Structure 1
Amino acid sequence: MPWKHADMVRWLHPQHLIRSGMDALVASIFGVRADHRLIVAVGRPQPPYFDYSDEAAGEDFWLDYVADTGDGWNSTYAVARLLAKPSLELKDPNGDTHALERGRILVFGGDQVYPGASRDTYEERLAQPYREAMSRSPDPSPHLFAIPGNHDWYDGLAAFMRLFCADRWFAGRRTRQSRSYFALKLPRGWWLVGTDVQLNSDIDVPQLEYFRQTATYMQPGDRIILCNAEPAWIHAATTPHPRGYMENNLEYLQEKVFGRRISLFLAGDLHHYKRHEDAEGRQKITAGGGGAFMHPTHAPRALRLRDGCEQKKCFPDEKTSRELTRQNLMLIRHSPFFGLLTGALYLILALSAYTELGSHGLLNIHEALRQLAASLVNRPMSLVVGAATLGGLVGFADPAFGRWRVPMGLVHGLAHIACAFLVAWGAMYFTVSTLGICAEPPSPKLAAFIIPGANACAGGWTHMWAKFLLGTFLTFAGGFLVGPFVMGLYLTVSLNNFGAHSNEAFISLAIPDWKNFLRLRIDPEGQLTVYPVGLERVPRKWKATHADRYSPAYDPDDPQATDPILIEPPVRVMPREQAP
């Protein structure tokens, strides 16, 4: 049976939260103690480089780069379909039209699948949409190379190695690498190097030796396109003490092995488009728009990098990014199952401090607060639950807050506790005073209800159970609705005012739009030009083309979808005469 087209990953679904946490924990433990790259380096030989230098003699040489791919089918297929087309004619913001040819090589830049790597997940979220975009290609078939990101490492790299490092075919493209890193010798003195930084921005020793060997084949005037899974330049610029990024093997690789030969840095991991440029024309491009949920562009903010590179373009722009952040105020709409967690939290808080408030309205708020205070004093467990809530949300607060981290975590926690009190109070008032359940004077013949603090009522045990069950249900329902709003408000304020929680604020929204990939051209004179392709709104509806296996299986059937464009005019990488 055919696979069902996958929806975007709902990261705040309790199931995904638990699974992602376990995957990250297991990967961090075994990634350090059982590094798969060390085993592969011994058992899988690989040439120091794959040679494409003699191709396209006298003609343009094209290659494609895409990162952060396999999420929802709509977004992943929309990008795969554009990559599969033999050519594209796109307009840039100046109104000029450019003809772009499909790349002879396609490079996957990391995090090929979400939420975590497995054989079935790769098949459903990556292989299927790419096969439906192009299951076969005419000779000469494009070649495919890939580097892993942290999500590819969640199964120890097993599924990645099987799919990309076994000399097999993938969606009409042939894979050639046998390790998770590689080097390509391109025409006219250009090289492309793909690294595997595992989970800790770390280059293992065999990989360093491999690239040292590759460097011996480079001529003095050669230049390099370096592909990393993470934009270390942005992390370094936005981290107060970036020792983890500035003093590791990746830095050593850039400074000591390849040096000033590197003219173009490419990375994914952040799911948007950002380009930084230095005075010499050296480019650092983050292009993680292959299908994964969108990340904001206004945070983390890195207008100027530590090496002097300045931000020249982002997609979407920062104003749009801020507006999209406000969608968190309707978090329940984007992540409805998250309400299960807040509903359970509010119910636990209410039960731990249970007291009779059903007969008190807003005019008696002072009495309601007095009874709540008495209940907290008499029940130490309520204090433990409250302290645990505050501690957990302080720990959840983003380190990007700096000195505001603890205050923001406390405010967030107190907001949930206050809302839990109001929701439970409202639930009991509605049950007792509005519906009249257990509103009669208590009978002296009835013992107190099983929960301390609850009064018996004239209706007997039946009414007491009805009051308890209905109050419990309404409290949970109120937490289901109110809790996500409080969380969404916290995320909106955090990101738009403090630049914090950039990841959490957008995994909650799972926005499939604002996708991008790069098409690169090396002209006969050796000039490298980057064409950043953008897709503002991906189609949600499709129609079958009934075409052959060399063509996309579906075309857009959504009038609200936008056509692909060039995000900015073509970007010329450091001219050859300026290269070291």
Structure 2
Amino acid sequence: MSDSSRDTAAGAGWGTAERGDYRRLMPHKVEKLSWLSPKTLWAARNGVLASWFGDPTGRTRGRWVAQRAAAGAPADKVIRRDGPDRFSFLVVGDTGEGDDSQYAVVPGLLKVGRGTDFAVIASDVIYPVGSADDYHTKFFRPYQDYRAPIYAIPGNHDWYEDLGAFMRVFCDDAPPLAPEPAPRPLTRAWLRSLLWHRPRPTDGQHLQKASKLRSSAEQQAVQPGPYWAIDAGPVRIVGIDTGLLGTLDAEQGAWLREVSEGPRPKILITGSPLYVDGEHHPCPIEGGGTVDDIVRAPEHRYVAAIGGDIHNYQRYPVQVDGRTVQYVVSGGGGAFMHATHTIPRVGIAGVTERDFRCYPLRGDSLAFYSALYGRRLRLRRFFALTEAEATAVVSERLGIPPTRAPGGPVRVTRRMRLLASLLGAGGRPDRTSRFRLPVRKLYTRLFSPGSATYSPPFFKQFLRLDVTPEAIRLRCHAATGNRAQEVDPPVEDEVIIPLV
């Protein structure tokens, strides 16, 4: 097995490694998505409009579910996969930017995914707005050689065009919803409808042709709707749709409570992770309660909750009533990288730094962002931090031993401490906090999507889960964009989840 980032800097993708072969999979011309473009920001306005004028996602989702029920989808929304009690599947989150960082994941995913029974995309299948015209290069082309079904739950970006393209691709070519009656003038709903982004009338004309790239019988999958459950082997996998604002409508909440009943072990797949960046986000349900209330209830027997949306990997093994629930973030499937060096020293729900895992490692994340700011601000010499220096200064700020042993002694200088503070390492405020560059919350909302790079290392990842009646083995595999990690995708984290 090849070195991981926890073993060596080369395992993380640093150095003069040979670039991988992923580029031969890419189309000749690739659109470089810029989230700083006014055109892109205007097209992706629906999330802001929903937060200002009310979120219509729950009502629209209810109409999609009713349409699928009328078309014969199972009322309980459970996909029953008959087969052996031992099986494997992949989870890959936040995939569809269609550039180097997405395609760099594909060779390793195909290799590790050989023999798996299906895959799940956990949030944001397509960027920037879930357009049907983008499915060719951002879904069908990259995964054309994965020889098993792919299921998906939508993320907020898939909802920016009211989920129409997602439903066509994953839900048996669902026809468009009938127009709703116009809202009363001068109401919040009326103001929202005036500004609401909708798909172009010509969107998706070539979708049928694109779908032929994944047209073999073993690749076919039909979902009962945007949320669903899969019964496979000894477990039930429950996928929920958290819409534009990371919440559940009352109808889906009632379904989730019902489908969570029974002694069968369960895994939740959600677009909004419940533990992330050292914080708890239980995910509210309209009418009362939270998703995490359901996960934590011992009678429901959830053993893991895996969320996308945040573009890195994190794992929190939380003790709940004498059992361990693995809360996982897995959103490193192709989009720009969210920083991990801004995660403060972990101490939440009984989980400490000793228990917590993340990828990329915080030091690698800081080195990545220091190089990025050096390029963007044309101050490369000032921002220059080697991976060893970044690892050392993060270790000092958090008061933890370095995850990866440095190649030699590293002296932490005042410049390194200043850079770490400016870039928010450890999330710890200090005297320079008012001068901190946008990396965490503001950067996530605006600047971080502009941090896409087109040369390794990319610090992407995906999961493989192997299920037996006794246990689930969950492994996080890295994709750096370098050939060494394509040939033998390193394991960045591994945990055995007992079922009995």
TM-score range, shorter chain: 0.5 to 0.7
- Cα gap change, 1:151 to 1:502, in 2 (>3 Å): closer
**The 10-residue stretch of structure 1 (156-165 or 271-280) with the greater mean CA deviation from structure 2:** 271-280
Q: CA deviation at 1:156?
A: 1.0
> Would you say the 8 A contact 1:274–1:287 is kept in 2?
yes
User: Hey, what does 2:470 align to over in structure 1?
Assistant: 526
> Would you say the 8 A contact 2:332–2:460 is kept in 1?
yes
User: SS of the counterpart of 1:286?
Assistant: strand
User: SS of the counterpart of 1:129?
Assistant: coil
Q: What TM-score results when the alignment is normalised by the length of structure 1?
A: 0.57
Q: CA deviation at 1:161?
A: 0.8
Q: CA deviation at 1:73?
A: 3.1
Of 333, 337, 341, which aligns to 1:290? 333
Q: CA deviation at 1:117?
A: 1.4
Q: Does 1:151 align with 2:154?
A: no
Q: Identity over aligned residues, as a percent? A: 26
Distance (whole Å) between structure 2 residues aligned to residue 120 and residue 31 of structure 1:
28
Distance (whole Å) between structure 2 residues aligned to residue 250 and residue 129 of structure 1:
40
User: SS of the counterpart of 1:230?
Assistant: coil
Matches within 5 A, 1:145-544: 145-166=151-172, 171=214, 172=216, 173-188=219-234, 190-216=235-261, 218=262, 220=263, 222-234=264-276, 237-238=278-279, 245=283, 252-256=290-294, 259-260=297-298, 261-279=301-319, 280-301=323-344, 303-306=346-349, 308=351, 311-326=355-370, 327-331=372-376, 408=434, 491=437, 494-495=438-439, 501-502=443-444, 504-511=446-453, 513-523=458-468, 525-536=469-480, 538=481
- Cα gap change, 1:402 to 1:73, in 2 (>3 Å): closer
Distance (whole Å) between structure 2 residues aligned to residue 278 and residue 238 of structure 1:
12
> Would you say the 8 A contact 2:253–2:285 is kept in 1?
no
User: Hey, what does 1:33 align to over in structure 2?
Assistant: 56
Distance (whole Å) between structure 2 residues aligned to residue 273 and residue 202 of structure 1:
22
Matches within 5 A, 1:34-49: 35-45=59-69, 46-47=73-74, 48=76, 49=78
Q: CA deviation at 1:499?
A: 7.8
User: SS of the counterpart of 2:364?
Assistant: helix
Q: CA deviation at 1:281?
A: 3.8
User: SS of the counterpart of 1:568?
Assistant: strand
Distance (whole Å) between structure 2 residues aligned to residue 500 and residue 14 of structure 1:
17
> Would you say the 8 A contact 1:290–1:516 is kept in 2?
yes
Q: CA deviation at 1:203?
A: 1.3
Of 99, 104, 107, which aligns to 1:78? 104
Q: What TM-score results when the alignment is normalised by the length of structure 2?
A: 0.65
Gaps of 5+ in 2: 1-25, 175-210, 380-423
Q: Does 1:576 align with 2:499?
A: yes
Q: CA deviation at 1:402?
A: 11
1:110-143 deviation line (CA, Å, top 9, x unaligned): 1111122111123332223223x45xx4xxxx22
- Cα gap change, 1:249 to 1:307, in 2 (>3 Å): farther
- Cα gap change, 1:259 to 1:5, in 2 (>3 Å): farther
- Cα gap change, 1:23 to 1:333, in 2 (>3 Å): farther
> Would you say the 8 A contact 1:331–1:508 is kept in 2?
no
Question: What is the RMSD of the two structures over their aligned residues, measured on CA atoms?
Answer: 3.7
Distance (whole Å) between structure 2 residues aligned to residue 179 and residue 278 of structure 1:
30
> Would you say the 8 A contact 2:311–2:336 is kept in 1?
yes
> Would you say the 8 A contact 2:155–2:309 is kept in 1?
yes
Distance (whole Å) between structure 1 residues aligned to residue 254 and residue 120 of structure 2:
22
- Cα gap change, 1:504 to 1:560, in 2 (>3 Å): farther
Gaps of 5+ in 1: 89-99, 335-397, 412-489, 540-558
Distance (whole Å) between structure 1 residues aligned to residue 365 and residue 470 of structure 2:
37
User: Hey, what does 2:138 align to over in structure 1?
Assistant: 125
- Cα gap change, 1:107 to 1:247, in 2 (>3 Å): closer
**The 10-residue stretch of structure 1 (280-289 or 514-523) with the greater mean CA deviation from structure 2:** 280-289
Distance (whole Å) between structure 1 residues aligned to residue 273 and residue 493 of structure 2:
22
Q: Which letter does structure 2 place at the counterpart of 1:176?
A: V
Larger of the two Rg values belongs to structure: 1
Distance (whole Å) between structure 2 residues aligned to residue 29 and residue 175 of structure 1:
36
Report the number of matched residues.
375
Distance (whole Å) between structure 2 residues aligned to residue 291 and residue 162 of structure 1:
22
Distance (whole Å) between structure 2 residues aligned to residue 282 and residue 258 of structure 1:
8
- Cα gap change, 1:26 to 1:500, in 2 (>3 Å): closer
User: SS of the counterpart of 1:507?
Assistant: helix
> Would you say the 8 A contact 1:293–1:506 is kept in 2?
yes
